[in-house]
Amino acid sequence: MPNLRLALCQTDPWVGDIARNSDEVVHWTKQAVEAGAQLVAFPEMALTGYPVEDLALRRSFVEASRAGLVELAGRLAGEGLGEVPVVVGYLGRSEQASPRFGRPAGSPQNCAAVLFRGKVATRFAKHHLPNYGVFDEYRWFVPGDQLPVVRLHGVDVALAICEDIWQDGGRVTAAREAGAGLLLVINGSPFERNKDDVRLELVRRRAAEAGCALAYVNMVGGQDELVFDGDSIVVAADGEVLARSPQFEEHLLVLDLDLPAASSDHTDGLLLADGLHLVRAELGGEPAGAPAEPVSAGVAPRISDEAEIWSALVSGTRAYVRKNGFRSVLIGLSGGIDSAVVAALAVDAIGAENVYCVSMPSRYSSQHSRDDAAELARRTGLNFRTVSIAPMFDAYLAATELTGLAEENLQSRLRGTLLMAISNQEGHIVLAPGNKSELAVGYSTLYGDSVGAFGPIKDVYKSLIFRLARWRNEEAERLGEVPPIPENTISKPPSAELRPDQKDTDSLPDYDLLDTVLDLYVEGDHGRDAIVAAGFDPAVVDRVVRLVDTAEYKRRQYPPGPKISVKGFGRDRRLPITNRWRRG
């Protein structure tokens, strides 16, 4: 069997920065070629970043991407890398009209190309366009109708893009019909909890259906609310895992594959599954046997659920801060569990020296909460100061009569105003500490604790917040480090401390119960009657459903945050604010 040395470049493209992304392609290709790679692949839309959203509708951006692709091909050759084919995703356009989709010629497409000897050897567009969850690709793109097959060193390599293997048939079935020896798939697959297991089973199943080895390269990093975890995989036709990259880090995976010799004589234009037309590219190269020094990429160990989630939150926060041109963050540190976890995440993401925290006590702030905030600062080494809001609060109350909820919310809004003022003065980006449980039921103050540019725990239920805090402390102990979060912060009953002896349970059900009902209603889309039928108290369910439904306007005004669940607030769940439907 011919041997092919494959390199999968698990990289972090930046949306809109074609020049930087091109530099990265050259950088990683050099490393791959130095490792002896004969075929190099990058993630979906690696040249433009992903997802580009409505940037795809700007002709100037499409043309910049197309021109950048041609320039990149020439640059690779100029750097002495032109003899190794490089697969790169980019933003392209259709050459023909697509009457079925009502789109004219020149419409945007999610494309990939093979760059070889200074030229674009072949190019193709994504066939299956996802239009669910966080994806709106039918809004932007026209699907492709080809199966590209590259013959290289005596092996036929079929090419596909992400969703092409998440849907049945299509390029997977067509790859089998074309007699491919390898199906190479480039991806921009966002992270969700437990998706690594789902992804592995998918890749194994598609390899069996294609009847050949399957190589899956995915991006890492973050883009607004999306986090990409890498987890690039290569499996044999029988499902054996041959190599797997670590999650949440850039990585070059190089391995030798023994693949069946190309034998098919199918010609260009042959009609395959799903109406796909076969398009061949002959790149040459003599078939080679097993190398004298074979490369074994290894299989990265899997990590725990808590480690995976923590890494996703850290990656998403780091990407948002860095890619938006900031170096430092500002957090209101109350001594409570939410701001403590956000601060610990920020320290892991960008370093303690770049994290600034402010304690803003009022007359209702307990001494133990003030002490807990100071203790976290001491443990982590972040920048910490105290600014009391008591004088401002008293001035407001002297000017106008406020009681009850209005008085409580005033404290939160004073803190929000103070944080934004410091942000403006010192140039830090403010991180909001709200969690998914609070956002779901509206247990937050608009223009108060909801202020900020990013919400690191926006998609994390409160019960999971406690689990993550305990895990992070245990991980620190395992590594011989100081646990960042004070034990008292984790063990004390949650409280907003906006009135005397306040507890969250005064206003909300116990968080374990609340989060279970929320998971059924938000993630599961179960209606009120179905949740009650599952054994939950009707009064509790009615209350939770009402709170969720009437808080939609608040969630629309909350900053973005990294998505870790199957259904996060924002891109995943889009309900009308003005809505009289109350049956769940």
Distance CA 531, CA 27 (A): 53
Q: Longest C-alpha distance within the chain, in Å?
A: 87
Instruction: For residue 496, name the pLDDT band (cuts at 50, 70, 90).
Output: low
Residues forming a β-bridge with 290: none
Distance CA 52, CA 448 (A): 31
Which residue intervals of 242-336 are DSSP H helices?
305-323
Which is more confidently placed, 82 or 106?
Answer: 82
Residue 503 is among the residues annotated as catalytic for this protein: no
Residues ≥6 apart with Cβ < 8 Å to 477: 483
> What is the arithmetic mean of pLDDT over 412-435?
95
Element (H, E) at 514: helix 511-518
Residue appearing with tokens 């920020």: 346
Is 500's pLDDT higher than 80? no
Q: Report whether 522 contacts 440 (CB < 8 A).
A: yes
Tokens of 564: 């870790």
According to DSSP, residue 128 is labeled S
Active-site residue, selected from the candidate residues 9, 24, 44, 357 = 44
Residue 575 one-letter amino acid: L
Distance CA 275, CA 145 (A): 7
- Provide the residue count of the chain: 584
Which DSSP string corresponds to 359-376? E---TT--HHHHHHHHHH
Distance CA 525, CA 532 (A): 13
Which is more confidently placed, 508 or 569?
Answer: 569
Helix (H, G, I), strand (E, B) or coil at 47: coil
Distance CA 555, CA 558 (A): 5
Distance CA 245, CA 218 (A): 9
Is 100's pLDDT higher than 80? no
Task: Tell me the average pLDDT of the chain.
Answer: 93
pTM above 0.85, yes or no: yes
According to DSSP, residue 452 is labeled S
Residue appearing with tokens 């999306």: 226
Distances (CA, A) of 46 to 89, 110, 217, 245: 5, 11, 11, 18
Closest CA to 8 of 184, 190, 203: 184
pLDDT in tens, 317-351: 999 999 999 999 999 999 899 999 999 999 999 99
Q: Report whether 112 contacts 88 (CB < 8 A).
A: yes
Active-site residue, selected from the candidate residues 9, 24, 111, 126 = 126
Q: Report whether 521 contacts 502 (CB < 8 A).
A: no
Is 498's pLDDT higher than 70? no
Predicted confidence at residue 104, as pLDDT, reads 82
Distances (CA, A) of 486 to 365, 380, 495: 17, 11, 16
Distance CA 231, CA 245 (A): 5
Residue appearing with tokens 């580009």: 52
Active-site residue, selected from the candidate residues 162, 192, 323, 554 = 162
Residue 436 one-letter amino acid: K
> What is the arithmetic mean of pLDDT over 380-388?
96
Distance CA 365, CA 331 (A): 17
Q: Report whether 463 contacts 429 (CB < 8 A).
A: no
Residue appearing with tokens 């692949």: 41
Residue 44 is among the residues annotated as catalytic for this protein: yes
Predicted confidence at residue 366, as pLDDT, reads 81
Residue 340 one-letter amino acid: A
Identity of the highest mean pLDDT range in 248-262, 404-418, 501-515: 248-262
Predicted confidence at residue 497, as pLDDT, reads 61
Distance CA 62, CA 90 (A): 9
Closest CA to 365 of 501, 485, 487: 501
> What is the arithmetic mean of pLDDT over 133-151?
90
Q: Report whether 267 contacts 249 (CB < 8 A).
A: no
φ/ψ (deg, to 5) at 283: -105, -5
Helices (H) and strands (E) in the chain, counts: 18, 19
Distance CA 479, CA 470 (A): 14
According to DSSP, residue 248 is labeled S
Residue 162 is among the residues annotated as catalytic for this protein: yes
| pLDDT cut 70: percent of the chain above it | 99
pLDDT in tens, 149-192: 999 999 999 999 999 999 999 999 999 999 999 999 999 999 99
Predicted confidence at residue 578, as pLDDT, reads 84
Residue 195 one-letter amino acid: K
Tokens of 92: 């392209």
Q: Report whether 471 contacts 357 (CB < 8 A).
A: no
Q: Report whether 248 contacts 311 (CB < 8 A).
A: yes
Helix (H, G, I), strand (E, B) or coil at 177: helix
| Distance linking the first and last C-alpha atoms of the chain | 59
Residue appearing with tokens 């990289």: 11
Distance CA 316, CA 454 (A): 10
Helix (H, G, I), strand (E, B) or coil at 399: helix
Distance CA 434, CA 443 (A): 9
